[in-house]
Amino acid sequence: MSSVRSAYTDSLNFYGRHTPQELAEIYGTPLYVYSEGVLRERCRDLITLSPHPGFGVNYSVKANANPTILGIVREEGLVVDAMSQGELHLDTLAGFPPEKILYISNNNSPEELRHAAAHSLLVSVDSISQLDAFGRLNHGGKVMARFNPGIGAGHHAMVVTAGRETKFGVMPDNLDEVFVLLNRHQLTLSGINQHIGSLFMTADGYLDAATVLLALAERLPGEVLKKLEIIDFGGGFGIPYHKYEGEKRLNLADLGARLHDLIAGWAAKTGYAGRFLVEPGRYVAAECGILLGRVHAVKNNGDIRYVGTDLGFSTLVRPMLYDSFHDVEIYRAEGETAALDPVKQTIVGNICESGDILAKARLLPAMREGDVLGILDAGAYGFVMASNYNQRCRPAEVLIRADGTAKLIRRRETLDDLTRCFK
Ligand SMILES: Cc1ncc(COP(=O)(O)O)c(C=O)c1O
């Protein structure tokens, strides 16, 4: 197999005993391919962030909820969150017991709250209104509360999840109302949590927000703090999407050392003996996933060279939704020549919308019909956000196991899947 642009995956032996061309032939495209090796490595990066006895990692399942992926995450010692009945169902299918699932949700119906409580989950509510609703159906039980530390972060306004202009969390000014409801419903406050946003590449904002949450915990009356079991600082840990430009990784060693000092110092000061969690999704799952697609048409419209692929936004929506950048690799059959001089090209999908753009005006070796493309870092917020728009079937998912062999972990949808729910 001769590859036009594959230095990154070559360096990792990402595809194991296969070539991406072979995988595209066997399973078809579009195809999500995951590397077990990369996934395990990312889990281990996180679990070793702090040696504090109560430190743990709560994988945020919304990033990738395939039960095989979840099973590997479980084997690596992470716990998981759930924010819907569907996520809870998949967590359970992957073997997580209730005590390893935190229900971190917002704006749930009473039925959803009852469902989570019936599964013996610790439920985090993110408003006074939901605290009251949950208290009415879980009188005398436990609850967690999500606070909004007033500091947000993120790669796009749509993923900033704290600060005065977001819908999330209870503002610390409302702490007194929280106590009133805890008393009224005889609830034990078992945990507090926050999530400031997604994709930070330096530690400062995250640590500042963690400090704010700890300061809030110190405002809890002694008897409340004594019963607190979990302080969860949220996720947002970024990954370098610009791999071919040598973008630096988030300095986890620095973040880990500073987080450890913060939590160990705070626990020593306050006598807190509970758990401290971080709640990353993207950092765990993004880099283990690559989306394979095929070029079906190439044309020039005016000055723009369009490369038409089967990777519409129904397959990967991040570029269209957030203007996100994903690096692209290009694979071509053995013995075929490749002109390596870069040409400006816009890679588009097969959806009937002009916003269906995967990569805009990229300088890449000229692509042609039949090439297989690898869209890097597609393991998080990739398949989970795929849709059936234009009535396209969602892709298959394949795992490259530690021994280099490939295993189908979700079959491609069929036309029967499209019509299953019609009456
Ligand atoms: C409550 C909560 N926790 C964790 C995450 C995971 O964020 P990330 O994938 O950026 O780590 C999210 C993402 O939206 C979230 O809303």
Q: What is the pLDDT of residues 272-330, one digit of tens each?
A: 999 999 999 999 999 999 999 999 999 999 999 999 999 999 999 999 999 999 999 99
Residue 279 Cα to ligand 1 middle (Å): 7
Among the listed residues 249, 131, 264, 137, the one whose alpha carbon sits nearest the alpha carbon of residue 191: 131
Name residues whose C-beta falls within 8 Å of residue 290's C-beta, 6 or more positions apart in sequence.
9, 14, 20, 32, 33, 34, 329, 374, 375, 376, 377, 378, 379
Mutate to test the pocket of ligand 1, among 58, 60, 147 (most ligand atoms within 8 A of CB): 60
3-state SS, residue 81: strand
Nearest CA to ligand 1 atom 15: 195
Q: Which domains does the chain have, with CATH numbers?
A: 2-34+288-419 (2.40.37.10), 48-285 (3.20.20.10)
Q: Which residue has the tokens 């915990």?
A: 217
* Catalytic position from the list 288, 352, 393, 421: 352
Task: Give the CA dihedral 49, 54, 60, 66, nearest 10 degrees.
Answer: 90
Selection from 388, 294, 324, 331 nearest residue 20 by Cα: 331
The letter for the amino acid at 207 is L
What ranges in 233-364 are assigned the alpha helix state H? Answer: 252-270, 282-285, 318-322
Q: Which residues pair with 42 in a beta bridge?
A: none
CA angle at 41 for the pair 35 and 43, rounded to the nearest 5°: 105
Distance of alpha carbon 176 from alpha carbon 405, whole angstroms: 56
Nearest atom within ligand 1 for CA of residue 279 = 4
Residue 275 belongs to what H/E stretch? Answer: strand 275-278
Q: How confident is the model at residue 98 (pLDDT cuts 50, 70, 90)?
A: very high
Read off the pLDDT of residues 34-72 as tens digits, 9 standing for 90 and up: 999 999 999 999 999 999 999 999 999 999 999 999 999
Task: Say yes or no: CB of residue 102 within 6 Å of ligand 1.
Answer: no
Over residues 105-119, mean pLDDT: 95
Q: What is the residue whose two structure tokens read 């950092």?
A: 283
Higher per-residue confidence, 138 vs 3: 138
Q: How far apart are CA 125 and CA 113, in angstroms?
A: 9
**According to the model, what pLDDT value does residue 2 have?**
57
Per-residue pLDDT tens digits for 346-355: 999 999 999 9
Query: Is the pLDDT score of 1 beyond 70?
Result: no
Residue 196 has pLDDT above 60, yes or no: yes
Residue 318 CA, chain-centre distance (Å), reads 12
| Residue closest by Cα to atom 16 of ligand 1 | 195
- If you average pLDDT over every residue of the chain, what do you get? 95
Prediction pTM value: 0.97
352 is catalytic: yes
Query: Which structure tokens are listed for 51?
Result: 């040696």
Ligand 1 atom at minimum distance from 198 CA: 10
Res 152: pLDDT: 73
User: From CA 224, how far away is CA 214, in angstroms rounded?
Assistant: 14
Q: 142-146 and 122-125: which strand pairing?
A: parallel
Q: Which of 11, 78, 90 is nearest to 45 (CA)?
A: 78
User: 280: CA distance to ligand 1 center in Å?
Assistant: 6
Strands 396-400 and 31-35: parallel
pLDDT for 379 equals 99
Q: Check residue 165 and give its pLDDT.
A: 76
pLDDT of residue 354: 95
pLDDT surpasses 80 at 86: yes
Contact 22, 268 (CB under 8 A): no
Kindly indicate the confidence band of residue 145, based on its pLDDT and cuts at 50, 70 and 90: very high
Q: Environment class of residue 106 by beta-carbon count within 10 Å: exposed (0-12), middle (13-18) or buried (19+)?
A: middle
